[in-house]
Structure 1
């Protein structure tokens, strides 16, 4: 959370989160469901970083996920 900006905007399926506290709440609910992460790839273009991966949970290990971060002043 040290690298997350206070004014972060984060989109998850069906929901948009605004602010670091909302992001923290979402991640703290999602992270414990993970049993692993497979096939990680990343792409960096200037101040943007894209991550592509397969979050492994009890429900799935084949649903792809992607995240795009814009880095400003060392924070996303």
Structure 2
């Protein structure tokens, strides 16, 4: 990672550290009220809806590994792998737009198939 982090990357890393340590409320302090998130399940509008999306997964986390993080003044890209109660390895990536110290847009990418397979195996 760069020695000097960009403004967007500082916000993105603080947000990531918060939710991956299961502190969703702290993570949401880095998110704008009118956040828009495009995720595999569809569009999520607003901080409250994003809390409902993020909190259950954050609570289930066992560990996380940050693979890469890059950013400039307006955007940051994080790639990581997570281990949860349901799936041993779930890589993901977020491209985050940051305005005035808050995340306003997230393009969140992860593979839903391992989660579906794990749920089906439990049924």
TM range (shorter): 0.7 to 0.9
State the distance in 2 between where 1:66 and 1:26 align. Answer: 16
State the number of aligned residues.
76
Instruction: State the partner residue of 1:59.
Output: 86
State the distance in 2 between where 1:17 and 1:54 align. Answer: 22
Q: 1:43 deviation in Å?
A: 0.6
List, as ranges, runs of 4+ consecutive aligned residues in structure 1 with deviation greater than 2 Å. 58-63
Indicate the RMSD between aligned Cα atoms, in angstroms: 1.4
Instruction: State the partner residue of 1:25.
Output: 52
- Does the 8 Å contact 1:54/1:61 carry over to 2? no
State the distance in 2 between where 1:2 and 1:41 align. Answer: 23
TM-score w.r.t. structure 2 length? 0.56
Query: Which of the two has greater helix per residue?
Result: 2
Q: 1:50 deviation in Å?
A: 0.6
Three-state SS of the structure 1 residue aligned to 2:37 is strand
Of the two, which has the highest radius of gyration?
2
- Does the 8 Å contact 2:66/2:78 carry over to 1? no
Question: What stretches of structure 2 of length at least 5 have no aligned partner?
Answer: 1-27, 104-123
